[in-house]
């Protein structure tokens, strides 16, 4: 018998949103739309695609392990020093690394909300630590007072996804200010801003950069190119933190953790404001459409500041998910997200959204009506 670490055996393998090709093959369907993984309906930034095409012939060379040019681009865009910037193979990798540099003993605690983002769970399982999950409030918002109450001398790292995945809600500046005042400065507080571009225009949306620039040494900001920039398949994320944390990440990471092509694409995508603007604009209309149809079929749409909507059906959504799947619409059922009564649906193209609306009506309306 090979003695695998018990923490690892306790992990659930990640269940990915079903790939379109698999659903077509298994169900014999020709038309399948996927609204399960919060991908960009407009595809990748065209500037990023062009940059990759140009750089493709240099892929025999190792990437710049220090990501000099990319960090310069991030530095000038967000006005922060390059030694306060980290880059990763998706922000998932940065989450993994943050666990590696902070969690040391079985009594150490990683705190997150429930339902929350699954990679935080995974990070906790890979380290010797205790995972503490604090339920969101009745409006699906992270309960920062309850989280601050739960902090103790063992708390090492706290994740606040802002907006939160899967609920789509944000925590506002006042609440985050108060929270940071209550949490000791020795506790790392990660503001995971994977959906930053979709929420940044809200006047009460606080960015990690505000706190980091004000000198909060324990705050980490995480961003990704997977959502608004449409580079999920390339795997590129970045983050901001104090030099102490960035230095630790640089020691722990693989030397070539971000590929050459990902680096050039990321630089190009950072300059492509037009692609992001178009994406965010379309997203706003998509959220309105979804809020309307969820209410129409008797579900309660959550307030979303991301590129997906989380709706409470007040009954298990697995059958609805299954029925939609049979009709070629892939969504994310709540039992995979930490709340069996909810369904998460990403904003797709107009055509995909129209199909979703039609099929949701079909699967939630009693058949006798037709």
Ligand X SMILES: *Cc1c(COP(=O)(O)O)cnc(C)c1O
What is the binding site for ligand X (CB under 6 A)? 90-92, 117, 161, 165, 192, 194, 224, 226, 232, 237
- Minimum CB separation of residue 86 from ligand X in Å reads 12
193: tokens are 């801003």
Sheet with 308-312: strands ordered across:
300-301, 308-312, 342-346, 332-333
What is the DSSP code (8-state) at residue 331?
-
- Minimum CB separation of residue 208 from ligand X in Å reads 13
- Minimum CB separation of residue 39 from ligand X in Å reads 9
- Minimum CB separation of residue 315 from ligand X in Å reads 26
Question: Which is nearer to ligand X, 226 or 263 (by Cβ)?
Answer: 226
Q: Strands 155-161 and 109-114, how do they pair?
A: parallel
- Minimum CB separation of residue 326 from ligand X in Å reads 27
Reference 221, options 39, 79, 95; nearest CA is 95
- Minimum CB separation of residue 361 from ligand X in Å reads 28
Question: Which is nearer to ligand X, 92 or 143 (by Cβ)?
Answer: 92
Question: Which is nearer to ligand X, 158 or 363 (by Cβ)?
Answer: 158
Helix axes 350-364, 318-326, angle to 10 degrees: 120
- Minimum CB separation of residue 120 from ligand X in Å reads 9
**Which residues are CB-contacts of 94 (< 8 A; sequence separation ≥ 6)?**
86, 88, 222, 237, 238, 239, 249
d(Cα 285, Cα 155) in Å, to the nearest integer? 40
234: tokens are 């390339």
Question: Which is nearer to ligand X, 121 or 359 (by Cβ)?
Answer: 121
* DSSP per-residue codes, 71-109: HHHHHHHHT--GGGEEEESSHHHHHHHHHHHH--STT-E
- Minimum CB separation of residue 92 from ligand X in Å reads 3
Question: Which is nearer to ligand X, 224 or 304 (by Cβ)?
Answer: 224
Cβ(275)–Cβ(230) below 8 Å? yes
Cβ(99)–Cβ(124) below 8 Å? yes
Question: Which is nearer to ligand X, 165 or 317 (by Cβ)?
Answer: 165
Q: Strands 33-34 and 329-330, how do they pair?
A: parallel
Which residue lies nearest ligand X, judged by its C-beta?
90
Question: Which is nearer to ligand X, 232 or 297 (by Cβ)?
Answer: 232
CA angle 254–260–262, rounded 5-degree value: 90
Question: Which is nearer to ligand X, 231 or 355 (by Cβ)?
Answer: 231
Count each helix (H run) and each strand (E run) in the chain, helices first: 15, 13
């Amino acid at each position: 018998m090979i003695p695998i670490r018990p923490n690892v055996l306790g992990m659930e393998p990640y269940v990915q949103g079903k790939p379109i090709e698999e659903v077509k093959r298994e169900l014999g369907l020709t038309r399948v739309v996927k609204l399960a993984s919060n991908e960009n309906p407009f595809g990748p930034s065209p500037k990023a695609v062009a940059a990759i095409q140009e750089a493709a012939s240099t892929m025999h060379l190792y990437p710049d392990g220090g990501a000099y040019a990319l960090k310069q681009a991030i530095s000038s865009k967000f006005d922060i020093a390059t030694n306060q910037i980290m880059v990763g193979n998706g922000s998932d990798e940065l989450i993994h690394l943050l666990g590696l540099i902070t969690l040391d003993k079985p009594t150490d605690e990683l705190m997150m909300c429930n339902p929350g983002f699954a990679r935080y769970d995974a990070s906790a399982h890979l380290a010797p630590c205790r995972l503490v999950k604090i339920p969101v409030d009745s409006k699906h918002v992270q309960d920062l007072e309850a989280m601050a109450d739960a902090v103790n001398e063992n708390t090492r790292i706290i994740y606040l996804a802002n907006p939160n995945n899967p609920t789509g809600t944000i925590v506002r500046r006042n609440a985050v200010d108060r929270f940071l005042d209550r949490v000791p400065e020795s506790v790392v507080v990660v503001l995971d801003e994977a959906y930053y571009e979709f929420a940044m225009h809200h006047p009460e949306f606080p960015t990690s950069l505000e706190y980091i620039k004000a000198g909060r040494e324990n705050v980490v900001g995480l961003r990704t190119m997977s959502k608004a920039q449409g580079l999920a398949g390339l795997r590129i994320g970045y983050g901001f933190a104090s030099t102490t944390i960035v230095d630790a990440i640089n020691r722990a990471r693989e030397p070539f953790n971000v590929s050459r092509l990902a680096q050039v694409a990321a630089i190009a995508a950072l300059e492509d404001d037009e692609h992001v603007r178009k994406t965010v604009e379309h997203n706003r209309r998509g959220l309105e459409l979804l809020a309307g149809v969820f209410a129409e079929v008797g579900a309660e749409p959550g307030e979303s500041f991301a590129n997906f909507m989380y709706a409470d059906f007040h009954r298990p959504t697995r059958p609805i998910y299954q029925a939609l799947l049979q009709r070629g619409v892939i969504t994310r059922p709540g039992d995979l997200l930490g709340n069996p009564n909810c369904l998460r649906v990403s904003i797709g193209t107009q055509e995909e959204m129209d199909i979703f609306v039609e099929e949701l009506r079909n699967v939630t309306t009693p058949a006798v009506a037709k």
